[in-house]
Structure 1
Amino acid sequence: MATFEETKNLLEDSTFYYIIATNMEGKYTYINTCYRKTFEPIHGPIVGEPYDITIHPDDTQICEEVSEKCFTHPEKTFPATIRKHDGQGGYVITQWEYKALWDEHNQPAGIFCLGYDITDYMAYHDELKNTQSLLSQKEIVLQDMLFQQSHVIRRPLANIMGLAKILERMDIDKNLYNICKMLVDSCNQLDAVIKESAAKANNQ
């Protein structure tokens, strides 16, 4: 209980952290100012009410499982990510640390939780994951383009250059010779462009 009382005194009026406590019946016995200001406008007076009135129904099992761990390992705290009603049909995402409470007779007295809102963080996290996924997809496309340039395109280009050079050495009229020479020059220019594009892509 000493840790709980110290934390209450420290963070009673916090504008960032939530502090709550529930008894062995799963009812709120304490909430700090931040939790009260955030959730009582949605649910009304909370102390004395069941802990799950603020929670997404699918997350109640998480609370139960984490609470059980707290009593099995009373020396430890355990994390839980819980969705709570935002009063607008949606949910805020909250991150918590759970710890078991014990009375003066060393009997289980309830659960003490310290938490905060991570909704914005999760939104940024999801956006970052989407961006990383998009970049990975673009990287795959880029690598495929590099392969196409280095192997698929340059192979027939080299064949054209070879054939043009063969024609240059054959007994042909000057007009055809000049065409072959221009063809070889164009192939060399195109090959240089492909090499430069590949080099730039590899350096990015």
Structure 2
Amino acid sequence: MQNFEETRKLLDNSNIYYVIAVDMNSNYSYLNKRYSTIFEPMHGSLIGKHYSVTMHQDDLEICNAVSTQAFTYPEKIFPAIIRKFDGKGGYVITQWEYKAMWDENGQPEGVFCIGHDITQHMQTSTELKQAKASLSKTKVTLEQMAYMQSHVIRKPLANIMGLTLLLDSMEVDPGLVNMVKMINDSAKDLDQVIKDMAGKL
């Protein structure tokens, strides 16, 4: 609990990091100013509400798995990538680190988490569409487009998709499962851009 108090004092008014605490009933027990400012306008007062109200339901399994790890190995910190509602029908992508909290009697008290928004660092479908629009305006010959498709883009894309399939078949840290899925989804979006380019040929 002492570690949480020190972190809370340090980051309570952070303009970059989210800091939250969740009790043993999976309800919010603390929010720093940034988390409250971003997510309470969408969901109302969050203290006392189940933590899942702010997030994509498919990511609940990740939260549960990472929380279990935090209590199993209390000396360690565990990562997770979680999608949060953006209030516009979409999601922001956030990266978190989880640590279990214990009371003065050594009993589990909850989990505290530090996170930040990584949406701007992820290649989204919107960015891919913009890239496609930009490519369509670029004056290149058919031969150049064919070369780009078969050598410049197709080969590394096939490698990325193959690696995500390999990772999907392995036992990886639960916090990385969602990241592997997002990489695979982005690769599929890029594959669609390539197919659209091929259609122009």
* TM-score, with length taken from structure 2: 0.63
CA distance in 1, matches of 2:151, 2:77: 46
| Alignment match, 2:111 | 111
1:8 is matched with which residue?
Answer: 8
Q: Which amino acid aligns with 1:86?
A: D
Output aligned runs, 1:1-204, within 5 Å. Answer: 1-123=1-123, 138=148, 140-141=150-151
1:130-156 CA distance string (max 9 Å, x none): x8xx99x628448xxxxxxxxxxxxxx
How many Å apart are 1:7 and its aligned residue? Answer: 0.6
CA distance in 2, matches of 1:141, 1:94: 34
Look up the equivalent residue of 2:77 and give its one-letter code.
Answer: T
Whole-angstrom distance in 2 between the partners of 1:66 and 1:5:
21
Tell me the secondary structure at the aligned position of residue 104 of structure 2.
Answer: coil
- CA–CA separation in structure 2 for the residues paired with 1:141 and 1:58: 36
Q: How far apart in 2 are the matches of 1:107 and 1:91? A: 35
Number of corresponding residues:
139
CA distance in 1, matches of 2:150, 2:18: 44
* Percent of aligned positions that are identical: 54
Looking at structure 2, the residues matched to 89 and 139 of structure 1 have their Cα atoms a distance apart, in angstroms, of: 33
**For the residues of structure 2 that align with 1:119 and 1:20, how far apart are their CA atoms?**
19
Change (3 A) 1:104 1:120: same
Tell me the distance in 2 between the aligned counterparts of 1:100 and 1:87.
Answer: 29
Q: Which structure carries more helix by proportion?
A: 1
Task: Specify every segment of 5 or more residues in structure 1 that has no aligned partner in the other structure, as ranges.
Answer: 143-204
Aligned partner letter, 1:83: R
Give unmatched runs, 5+ long, in structure 2.
136-144, 153-201
Q: Write the distance in 2 (CA, Å) between the matches of 1:84 and 1:5.
A: 25
CA distance in structure 1 between the partners assigned to 2:81 and 2:150 by the alignment: 34
Higher RCO (Cα < 8 Å, 6 or more apart): 2
Task: Give deviations 1:168-198, integer Å, cap 9, x for gaps.
Answer: xxxxxxxxxxxxxxxxxxxxxxxxxxxxxxx
For 1:139 and 1:87, locate their aligned partners in 2 and report how far apart those are by CA, in whole Å.
Answer: 37
Q: In structure 2, do the counterparts of structure 1 residues 71 and 141 end up closer, same or farther at CA, with 3 Å as the change threshold?
A: closer
Question: TM (normalized to structure 1)?
Answer: 0.63
Letter in 2 for 1:101: M
SS in 2 for 1:10: helix
Post-superposition offset of 1:84: 0.6
CA RMSD of aligned residues (A): 2.6
